[in-house]
Every structure is written in C-alpha cells, then in structure tokens.
Amino acid sequence: MNKQPKIAVVGLGYVGLPLAVSFAKHFKVFGFDINPQRIEELKKGIDRTGEVESEQILNPNITFTTDEKVLNKADIIIVTVPTPTDKYKNPDLTALKKASQTVGRNLKKGAIVVYESTVFPGCTEEVCIPILEKESGLTWKKDFFVGYSPERINPGDKKRKLEDIVKVVAGDTEQTAQTLANIYGKIIKAGIHIAPSIKVAEAAKVIENTQRDINIALMNELAMLFDRLGIDTRDVLQAAGTKWNFLKFEPGLVGGHCIPEDPYYLAYKAREIDFHPQLILAGRRINDYMPQFIAQKVVKLLIKTGKVVQNSKILILGITFKENVPDVRNSKVAELIKELREYGIQTFVYDPIANPQEVKKYYGIELLRSPEEQTPYDGIILAVKHNEFLKFRLETFKEWVKEQSIFVDIKGIYPKNLFSRHFSYWRL
C-alpha cells in the first residue's frame, strides 16, 4: 500500500459524504455516486442532507463523479450504499450487489475493498467477495483484499460526528486490518478497535441497533400498559430514572433505515441456520405496531371530547424519521398518517425540515407552507422533536384549534400540567 493511497467512496449519502470529506483532509479522494443530481449539487458545495458544510465539500482533494472508471485509480474503495429490507422484511441487497459489480469491474490489483453497509454476519464473504472475483477476474487474498468497517454515523448529531466515534475495523488478513486501522486512524480521533474477523465486525454492527430496538420496544410496551392503567409513562420513567443503573430509553416511533431494518438482517441469518429468534422479532412487532396504537388513541380522544371522527382536522407537526434531519424515508409518522386517514380523519402536515418534493414522492403528501394554512384544527399531534417546534408556545397552539381540541404529544416535550388545562392532552 502506498504511503499516500488514493481513496474512493462509493455512495455519497449520510454515511459516504462525511467519510469522503474527512479523508480528503489527508488523501486524494474520489466520491462516486450513480445519482447525477447528487453529484451536480456536491460540485456546487450543496449537501441536501445538511450533514456537511459547503467549504468541506469544495475541498480540491475530492473529485465527485458518476464515472465508475475512477475506481480503477483507487488503492482503497469504501462501499457505503443502503441495505434496506423488502416488503417481506428480508434483506434487500440489490444496491450492495450492484455496487460490488461496479467495484469489481474497475478493481485494480493490490486494492482493498472496504464495506461499511450494515449486513448480516457472513454477508461480505458469502455475497460480496464472489461478485468482486467474478467481475474483476482477480483472486481474493492474492490480487485484492477486503475489509469491513461498520458505519456509526448518527444523522443530525452535531456532538458525535464521524471523528468522535470509535471506529471498528476488520480485514481478511492481519495486514489488511492493520492497514485499515492506520488509514481510518488518520481521521478518527476517538480511536480504532480492530475486530478479530469480518464476521465479528458485521455482527457487532447489526446488534448495536438491535439492542436499541429492543430497549425502545420495552418502553413502548410499558407505555401501552401504563395507558390502560391510567398512569403517565413519562412520570414513571422520570421516577425510575433516579436509580443509577436504570437505562434511560423512551417510547416513540422507530423509523429510519437503521434501527427498524437491522434486526431483520440478524433474524434472517438466524433462520438460515435453523435458529428461530424470539426476542429480536418481538421487539420489531411492538415497534411496528405503534403507529396503529397512537392512531387508535387519537380516535378515542376525539370521541371523548365530543368530536365527530369522520372529517375531523388534525395538524401533524413533523414527518421526518428523526428530529432536525430532512430524511423522510421509512418514516413511521407517514404510517401514522395512513392509519388516521383510514378512520376518515383529515391530516395536514407541517415540517420545516423535510423536502416537500421528497415527501410528495414517497408518500403522496403535500406539506403545508405554514401551520396556519388550514386552521382551525380539531387537534394537533407533535410527532417529531424539531428545534423549531420547541419554540412554539401554548398561546400559539390555542390560536390554531377549535374549542375542546386534542393535543397528542408523542415526544412528551411540552409541559403536561399546563397543556392539560387547555387541551385534551395525551403523551406517549
């Protein structure tokens, strides 16, 4: 490996772009993506995800392109494409396989291919490497080498950036692993952990989000239980959280393309070896049910306040899968909206962060230009904790609604005692 290797990053989304701009501080980088619009925007210093500043994107050390032939110039090729699930909740490796074909066609001798996409244990060696060999005509561990370094970027998190999160790396040989540790070590301040094998690194990544999914599922199940008991879940968690070893998870809608997807990858591999996971899938069932549960609660609240459910008007604040992030893919708020509409409820969505064109594309929903656009409403649902929503005050909400209206605070961010005096207030 050259002392100053050239690095290519395949896929320039939430994971690939921050990686590319960080490496560009030390190396020559090729940023490759199949989306021409994305490449043109990046050439102008525009990142629609809001993760990277313009001056970092315009670093002359980075070449953004849709020309796959640049991969042949790279000593290290890092693949950061999405790995979702299909409608049957099985791994959808389409993007990963296509990326491997593209890399294989342009793979030069001596190069190292690194996968950062989340996969099930064994995927890199069982699925990706055979494609690389077939497309390149080269032999693994002789003509090229492979590593795995799971992405850990937390979109929208300004405190824990790429450089501040410990990086796990693994290689097909000790030398590959050490080379990757040295390369990533140039940009990661928090340190490098070398896993003993690629499978271990793959498994480590997939259980990180599985563990989080199960913990949130427990909170969601408790929220449903306490709702029946007439107990406020947030009050219970606040009291329990005074113990030093209580894990401070909260109930909520679990969307995005990590936490809701990764457990299915692990479950898929488990079934393949005739092991039938129970807790992993139980957590998924609970979290997938939450939009339906909240919709049912909204209907009950409307009835309780004397509203006619059919054609009642509800303002929904937020549709992205996470606060202060524009990404709307796999948004559970969209599922909540679908559930509400099945009851005949009119839903109006305001989200200052989301891209209106993407919301229209994925869900057929027209975003409001302002919350006041369709006033008065029969109720309001706070679905996403955007910073802008934290500035809203009680008097503002009161101006938007009719008398005897409901307020569903999914994220529990507004003062319960105050809002309960003016609304039929409920929080998850």
In this prediction, residue 158 carries a pLDDT of 76
Paired sense of beta strands 145-148 and 112-115, if any: parallel
Confidence at residue 2, expressed as pLDDT on a 0 to 100 scale: 57
Same domain, residue pair 167 and 235:
no
pLDDT for residue 153: 83
Same domain, 177 and 257: no
Kindly state the DSSP code that residue 330 receives in the 8-state scheme. Answer: T
Our count of domains for the chain comes to 2
**pLDDT band at 422, cuts 50/70/90?**
very high
Is 25 inside any structural domain? yes
In a domain, 211, yes or no: no
The band of 63, judged by pLDDT with boundaries at 50, 70 and 90, is very high
**Is 301 within the bounds of a domain?**
yes
CB-neighbour burial class of residue 20 (10 A; exposed 0-12, middle 13-18, buried 19+):
buried
309 Cβ contact partners less than 8 Å away, ≥ 6 residues apart: 299, 302, 303, 343, 344, 345
For 324-335, what is the mean pLDDT? 93
**Quick one: average pLDDT of 326-337?**
94
The predicted pLDDT at position 160 comes to: 84
Task: Say yes or no: 223 and 353 in one domain.
Answer: yes
Position 1 scores a pLDDT of 58
Token pair belonging to 141: 């561990």
Q: Once rounded to an integer, what is the mean pLDDT over residues 346-375? A: 95
Q: Which residues are catalytic?
A: 258
Provide mean pLDDT across the span 310-338. Answer: 95
Q: What are phi and psi of 379, to 5 degrees?
A: -175, 165
Quote the domain boundaries for residue 239: 216-427
Q: Is residue 302 part of a domain?
A: yes
Together in a domain, 192 and 224: no
* Phi, psi values for residue 36, rounded to 5°: -60, -35
- CB of 17 closer than 8 Å to CB of 52: yes
Residue 210 confidence (pLDDT) above 60: yes
pLDDT tier at 49, thresholds 50, 70, 90: confident
Let me know if residue 1 belongs to a domain. Answer: no
Strand partners, 193: 168
- What is the per-residue pLDDT across 89-137, written as a single tens digit (0 to 9) for each? 999 999 999 999 999 999 999 999 999 999 999 999 999 999 999 999 9
**Is beta strand 401-409 parallel, antiparallel or unpaired with respect to 76-79?**
unpaired
Q: Are residues 11 and 153 in the same domain?
A: yes
- Choose the final residue of a domain: 165, 199, 233: 199
Q: Both 230 and 124 in a single domain?
A: no
Which pLDDT does position 226 carry in this prediction? 98
Three-state SS for 145? strand
Residues 63 and 171 in one domain: yes
Residues 250 and 195 in one domain: no
Q: Tell me, yes or no, whether 209 lies in a domain.
A: no
Q: What is the pLDDT of residues 242-295, one digit of tens each?
A: 999 999 999 999 998 889 999 999 999 999 999 999 999 999 999 999 999 999
Which of 147, 169, 199 delimits the end of a domain? 199
- For position 182, what pLDDT does the model report? 96
Q: Name the phi and psi angles at 306, rounded to 5.
A: 85, 15
Same domain, 18 and 165: yes
**Mean pLDDT across 22-48:** 95
Q: Are residues 292 and 151 in the same domain?
A: no
Mean pLDDT of the chain: 95
| Six-digit token string for 367 | 């975003």
Q: Is residue 210 part of a domain?
A: no
- pLDDT digit string (tens) for 143-184? 999 999 999 988 777 778 899 999 999 999 999 999 999 999
Nearest to 326, CA basis, from 78, 46, 24, 84:
46
**Of 148, 165, 199, which residue is a domain's last?**
199
In a domain, 205, yes or no: no
Same domain, 142 and 44: yes
pTM (two decimals): 0.93
The CATH number of the domain holding residue 279 is 3.40.50.720
With pLDDT > 70 as the criterion, what percentage of the chain qualifies? 99
Regarding whether 308 and 159 lie in a shared domain, the answer is no
| pLDDT above 80 (res 24) | yes
- Predicted pLDDT of residue 4: 86
Mean pLDDT of 375-388: 96
What burial letters (b/e) apply to 166-205, b meaning 16+ CB within 10 Å? ebbbbbbeeebbebbbebbeebbeeebeebeebbebbbbb
